Amino acid sequence: MHALEIRNLTKTYASGIRALDGIDLNVDQGEFFALLGPNGAGKSTAIGIISSLINKSSGLIKVFGIDTDHDFDRAKSLIGLVPQELNFSQFESVSEIVLNQAGYYGIPRRSARANTERFLRQLGLWDRRNQRSRDLSGGMKRRLMIARALVHEPKLLILDEPTAGVDIELRRSMWDFLRDLNAAGTTIILTTHYLEEAEHLCRNIAIINRGQIIENTSMKRLLTQLHAEIFVLDLSAPISAAPEGSDFDFRLKDDTTLEVVVYLGQTINDVFEFLSGKSIQVTSMRGKSNRLEELFVNLIQEDE
């Protein structure tokens, strides 16, 4: 069963802006799905419609088979939303915010308390439970929104740029948390500007641009579309010029840093073999840019 099924979804705002131009999307149960796109592409509009914060113009949305036109309340009880903008009361305490959210979903008080404690502990906020939300740090506020979205144990969790403005250490701990959540059965849809995040976490991906889905495939298949990848090599000893006499495209950045473009069909082993033949030793290597980022930029440019 699809956790989410979208057919020909359109949205035209009162201002006349057409934010969604007939998108179709399927997200299978248990998936960790990335929805990517540049600013203003329509990601947040799509998420807003799925979670009932925005009225659609036309189209069909089903959440675990439930048509939102027929029973949106039941569909909503299966969704948890972590929005892009902070949207909790600044004057309430951490536990009040999470407990009240459980109440809106009709969860009895005892279960609500137990879930609140569980998720606040898992997200490292239990010690802050009596603190006013406005006194939390930026990262804590983000985690509070995740705890709030999970308190009714949704089957589908939608995260709209959950790690925006969060430091690397915290971002990685949030990745671990989300991975565990997904492994336990929760379907997750993630939008993010950190493409590294999408590559690390998601199995499937859709790219949206100007209100249309321009790519919808598995992460693995998408990355095989990459025709060339640039690697940065740190050398053990300085060289005066980029090595010649191979099919590889070498560029010397400084006397101990070499860049190499590896095209589809070439292997990194061949690069090392060639450099060894030239008595050039490599001490370390890294990708110049995120692979998904390159693909993403290419796809958006092609679409425009």
56 versus 171: smaller Cβ distance to other proteins: 56
**How far is residue 263's CA from residue 267's CA, in Å, rounded to a whole number?**
8
In the bound complex, what is the minimum distance in angstroms from residue 209's beta carbon to other proteins? Answer: 21
87 vs 298, which CB is nearer to other proteins?
Answer: 87
CA angle 18, 19, 25 (to 5 degrees): 120
Give me the sign of the Cα torsion angle 112, 118, 122, 125.
positive
Closest approach of other proteins to the CB of residue 92, in Å? 8
Shorter beta-carbon distance to other proteins: residue 83 or 139:
83
* Cβ closest to other proteins, residue 105 vs residue 231: 105
As measured in angstroms, the least distance from the Cβ of 142 to other proteins is 15
User: By CB neighbour count within 10 A (0-12 exposed, 13-18 middle, 19+ buried), where does 1 fall?
Assistant: exposed
Distance, first Cα to last Cα, the chain: 34
Nearer to other proteins, 195 or 208 (CB): 208
CB atoms within 10 A of CB 238: 10
Q: How far apart are CA 209 and CA 43, in angstroms?
A: 9
What is the CA 4 to chain-centroid distance, rounded?
17
Give SS3 for 264.
coil
Smallest distance from other proteins to CB 133, Å:
10
Q: How far apart are CA 222 and CA 205, in angstroms?
A: 8
Least distance in angstroms from the C-beta of 113 to other proteins: 13
Q: Which lies closer to other proteins via its Cβ, residue 139 or residue 154?
A: 154
Q: How far is the CB of 205 from other proteins (least distance, A)?
A: 25
The total number of residues shown for the chain amounts to 304
* Closer by beta carbon to other proteins, 91 or else 304: 91
CB of 84 to other proteins, least distance (A): 11
Residue 165 C-beta: closest distance to other proteins, Å: 17
Strands 2-12 and 156-160: unpaired
Question: What does the binding site for other proteins look like in residue numbers (CB under 8 A)?
Answer: 13-14, 48, 51-55, 72-74, 76-77, 79, 81, 83, 85-90, 97, 100-101, 103-109, 148, 152
Nearest to 191 by CA among 83, 50, 295, 266: 83
In the complex with other proteins, the residue whose CB is nearer, 51 or 163, is: 51
Which residue, 185, 190, 181, is CA-closest to 163?
190
- In this structure, are residues 141 and 134 in contact, taking their beta carbons and an 8 Å threshold? no
